[in-house]
Amino acid sequence: MTTAQGYGGIPSAWAGRHDPPGSLPDLIHRKLKRDLLAWARILPKHARVLDLGCGRGEMLLELAKARPDLRLTGLDLSKEMLAEAARLLGGRVPLSRGDALRLPFADGVFDAVLALDLMQNFDEERALGAFIPEAFRVSAGWLLLEIKNPGSLWLIRALRRLAGSWSNAGPLRRALGWDVEPAGLKIHVHRPARILRGLDVTKVFRPWPVLPSPVTIRLLRKAA
């Protein structure tokens, strides 16, 4: 999931992914995607699903394989990412270029909207004032919203500063995904309690059941 601003700074070895392949963030996102695919099995037949910030189209491809009946759509701001997604999907899913804050879709046209690894691109005011309302505007039912854990991000940043002078820290930095922001991807930290205030959270997807997680996905129901 990406924005046009950040794409150019991603190392080519990452193949357009936000997280270094095989890193802890990459493994966490893979686990969460498996959980979302399991949830997608209960969607009504021919349900309409929008992947906001679809990036390389990997989630769309997995959904298309798991539920060929779903009517999928991908949207991203980056022309480069959409080109990657078009190659990966081979025309199986319609793709649009657009801004997640001003979506080019009618009200309630989708049954579910996925917003994965995307809200971090916006500061809290834009997330609350534009991004979430716009995502709900085009959804007739569900919004799956990925939220970063502020405490985990602050810890990672503190560890990054401590390891900054360690000449052999490269492998550890890659394993923990510490090089995301130096690659040009600004991560905004949000307060989950404020982001979710007044929203109907019906399920929480976590990479592990007990310990605090760097990221969770909340399944939100649109108000009647």
pTM given for the model? 0.82
Lowest mean pLDDT among 32-41, 122-131, 167-176: 167-176
Task: Note the residue count of the chain.
Answer: 224
CB-based burial label for 38 (10 Å; 0-12, 13-18, 19+):
exposed
**CB-CB neighbours of 78 under 10 Å:** 23
Identify the band that residue 190 occupies on the pLDDT scale cut at 50, 70 and 90. Answer: confident
pLDDT for the residue numbered 159: 62
* 50-72 per-position pLDDT tens digit: 999 998 999 999 999 999 999 99
Phi then psi for residue 199, to 5 deg, are -100, 150
pLDDT for the residue numbered 183: 42
Mean pLDDT, residues 91-107 taken together: 95
- CB proximity list for 123: less than 8 A, separation 6 or greater: 188
pLDDT for the residue numbered 54: 93
The greatest distance separating any two alpha carbons of the chain, rounded to the nearest whole angstrom, comes to: 56
Range of the domain at 159: 4-221
Q: Do residues 202 and 221 make contact, with C-beta atoms less than 8 angstroms apart?
A: yes
Mean pLDDT, residues 68-93 taken together: 94
Identify the band that residue 14 occupies on the pLDDT scale cut at 50, 70 and 90. Answer: very low
Phi then psi for residue 197, to 5 deg, are -60, 125
Please check the confidence at residue 180 and state whether its pLDDT lies above 50.
Answer: no
Mean pLDDT, residues 182-190 taken together: 63
Lowest mean pLDDT among 19-28, 57-66, 111-120, 129-138: 19-28
DSSP the chain: ---HHHHTTS-GGGTT-SS-TTSHHHHHHHHHHHHHHHHHTTSPTT-EEEEET-TTSHHHHHHHHH-TTSEEEEEES-HHHHHHHHHHHTTSS-EEE-BTTB-SS-TT-EEEEEE-S-GGGS-HHHIIIIIHHHHHHTEEEEEEEEEE-HHHHHHHHHHHHHHTT-TT-HHHHHHTTTTTGGGT-------HHHHTTT-EEEEEE-SSSSS--SEEEEEEEPP-
CATH at 13: 3.40.50.150
Beta bridge partners of 148: 215
pLDDT for the residue numbered 27: 82
pLDDT for the residue numbered 99: 94
Position with higher pLDDT, 99 vs 209: 99
Number of independent structural domains in the chain: 1
Please check the confidence at residue 41 and state whether its pLDDT lies above 90.
Answer: yes
The token duo for 126 is 């834009």
Identify the band that residue 34 occupies on the pLDDT scale cut at 50, 70 and 90. Answer: very high
